[in-house]
Every structure is written in structure tokens, then in C-alpha cells.
Amino acid sequence: MAKTLLCRQVLASEGGPVIIADVSVVPLGVGTSVSAYVKKAVKALDASGLKVLHGPMSTSLEAKTVDEVFSAVKKAHDAVIAAGAKRVVTTLKLDDRRDKDHTMASKLSAIDR
């Protein structure tokens, strides 16, 4: 079974509207172990400058605009292709909440209450 992105950090938001996204980048047909490809995607997401939370099956991102998310996800997707994957499935979910401020940290703290 393919694994995706690994856990690393959560950073606090600087305020204002925030887009929270969840992305997984999965190379297909590259064998049982995909960690070398996942590391490329993780590196690209980390280089994006966005706030990131790597988990065992996906990575969450925090950005000010949808375009920032799309740009980071494209770079992660392209990094896996550049690493030699002939087929890549990238899944993206967006949470664009406009009625109140929210961050990855606030969403996590809501389930700890």
C-alpha cells in the first residue's frame, strides 16, 4: 500500500483569511516502497514557504490564497514526476472558510477541548 507525506510541524498563522488544504501525492507503478518519491514531494512542499503539517497519509497546508496552494501542490506533483514516476495521483482538499478565522492549529485544538 502506498504511503504519502510524513509528520513534521505545525506553525501558527499570522492572521487574516486562511486556506487550509490537505494533499497527498502518490506515485504508482514504482514498487512497494515509495519513500524516495514521497521525500521529493515533502521537500517541494517544505520549500513552498507555506505552513505545513506532514502526516502519515497526507500533508496539510495553510496559505493565504488558493493560488499559493495550487502552486505548492503543482511543485510537489512535478517533483515526483521528475524523480522518475511515470504515473502520479495527486489528491487535494481545500477548506476556504470566510465566516471566521481558522488555522490548522485552531482546528486541532478544537478536537482537544
- The pLDDT assigned to 4 comes to 32
Task: Provide the residue range defining the domain that includes 67.
Answer: 19-112
- The pLDDT assigned to 89 comes to 97
Q: Which residue reads 497526507 in cell numbers?
A: 58
3-state SS of the chain: helix, strand, coil percent to 5? Answer: 35, 25, 40
Integer Cα distance of 48 and 46 in angstroms = 5
For the chain, what is the domain count?
Answer: 1
48: β partners: none
Query: Does 6 fall in a domain?
Result: no
**CATH number, domain containing residue 80:** 3.30.70.930
| The model scores a pTM over 0.95 | no
Of 97, 108, 95, 99, give the one whose Cα is nearest residue 20. 95
3-state secondary structure of 105: helix
Predicted confidence (pLDDT) per residue in 54-101, tens digit: 999 999 999 999 999 999 999 999 999 999 999 999 999 999 988 888
